[in-house]
Amino acid sequence: MTQEERIAQLEQENAELRAQLAEAYQQISQLAQRVQRLESQAAKDSHNSSKPPSSDGPRRKRRSQRHRSEKPTGGQPGHPGRTLLQVSRPDEVVCHRPLVCAHCQQPLEGVAGQLKDLRQVHDLPEVRLVVREHQVEEVWCPTCQQVSRGSFPEGVEAPVQYGPKVRALAVYLHEYQLVPLARVSELFADLCACEVSEGTVLTWVECATERLAPVVERIADWLSASLLQHADETGVRIAGK
C-alpha cells in the first residue's frame, strides 16, 4: 500500500468515526431532553401545576402550615374538656357483698350491709335482633252474631320482614359512613346474626331516596335563595393560604 492509499484509508476511517460520533452526540442530546422532560413531569404536583391534589401520591411530603406554639400540648387551662362520668341512674346494679365474715367465718346471709364504694362500667349491650310478632284476631260479636277482624299496622306487609330501625341503620352505614354494600351485609351478619343481601340494602337505599326527595327539593330551594353559596370540589391556594 502506497503512502497516498494509506492516507486515503485513514481519511475515510476518520470520516466514518466523525459520523458515528455525531450520531452518538445526537442520541445523547435526545436522551438528555427526555430525562429533563420526565424530571419536570415528576416534579409537578397540585401546588405548581393544574394537577388535582389526589394525584400528589403518598410520597409527597407536605409542609405543615402551622406555626410552632409556645403552649404545651394537650388540653389548655380553661378548656371544659369531656370525660367519662358516673350516671345517677344506672341501668343495672350488681351488688358484691361477702358471704361469710373474713375474721370468724360466720355466715352473713340476711345481715344488712351498707354501701362502701361503687364503680361504673359503661359498655354496649348485646346486639341482637328483637322479633316482634303481629297477630290478627277475629272476634265474634255476641250482639249481632257477626265476626270482626283486626288489621295489621302500617308498614307490616310481609309474613317476615326487617323493621325500620334495621333499614335505617343500613342506609346510614352505606350513605353517610360510606361503608360498601358487601361490608354492610357482613357487619349485620357478624353483629346481629342476620343475613342481609347487598341487593336488599340497595333497595332500602332507593326507598330512602324516594322518601327524602321532597326534603332534597326544599334544601335546593333554600340554597338557591341563599345570599352565600359555596361548593368545594378541589382546594386551591390564594395568597399562600
pTM check: above 0.75 = no
In a domain, 41, yes or no: no
Q: How confident is the model at residue 69 (pLDDT cuts 50, 70, 90)?
A: confident
Is 59 a residue whose pLDDT tops 60? no
Phi, psi for 34 (deg, rounded to 5) = -65, -45
Question: What is the pLDDT averaged over residues 194-217?
Answer: 94
Q: Can you point out the beta strands (E) in 36-141? A: 138-140
- Comparing 228 with 185, which gets the higher pLDDT? 185
In a domain, 166, yes or no: yes
Q: What is the DSSP letter of 174?
A: I
What is the model's pLDDT at position 131?
94
Q: How confident is the model at residue 94 (pLDDT cuts 50, 70, 90)?
A: very high
Question: What is the pLDDT averaged over residues 180-188?
Answer: 95
CB-neighbour burial class of residue 201 (10 A; exposed 0-12, middle 13-18, buried 19+)? buried
By residue range, what is the domain housing residue 181? 161-224
Question: What is the pLDDT averaged over residues 11-18?
Answer: 88
Average pLDDT of the chain? 87
Q: Chain-centre distance of CA 173, in angstroms?
A: 9
In a domain, 45, yes or no: no
Is 201 a residue whose pLDDT tops 70? yes
Query: What total number of domains does the chain contain?
Result: 1
Give tens-digit pLDDT for 99-112.
Answer: 999 999 999 999 99
